[in-house]
Amino acid sequence: MHTCTKTYRDFPAAHRAPNHDGHCSLIHGHNWDFTFVFSAEEDDINGFVVDFGKLGKLKDRLTHLFDHTCLIARDDPKRDLFEDMNLQGLLDLRIVESTCAEALARLAFCEAQSVLDENPDFRKRGARVVRVDCHEDSKNIGSFSI
């Protein structure tokens, strides 16, 4: 099976892990990177698994989710405070299932698969996301794969 890999870099976003027993419970930020591994049942006319030039919607979705945003878990006990700050224009809030790198990898995975499913050529050739790595920094990576 052929695969190809695409990395999008430097999405500055803040988050916190409200139940963490250390410093990760504090609001802090990272320049997140996302690496996607794609496969397809058959290559396209150029021999590509996925034509990187046709992934503009994925970049747009990642930018919307992660570029200068504040990620808060759905069950964060201070969610009301963050929603109020968002209403006041103090942050650009995104409510997500969980703010850990593993969960953000899963979120990016679902966004990428949705982009593939919306493209008739990708859909026809059975293109799919195999794995996503969410790089919190140069040393810490959370992943989601099928």
**Residue 51 belongs to domain with CATH number:** 3.30.479.10
- Tell me the residue length of the chain: 146
pLDDT at 96: 98
pLDDT at 41: 96
DSSP code for 112: H
pLDDT at 21: 96
| 107 Rama class: left (phi>0) / alpha (psi -120 to 50) / beta | alpha
Q: Which domain holds residue 44?
A: 3-145
Q: What is the mean pLDDT of each run of 10 residues along the chain (146 residues)?
A: 96 97 96 98 96 97 98 98 98 98 98 97 96 97 97
Task: Decide: 134 and 34 in contact? Cβ < 8 Å.
Answer: yes
pLDDT at 40: 97
State the total domains in the chain: 1
pLDDT at 36: 98
pLDDT at 133: 98
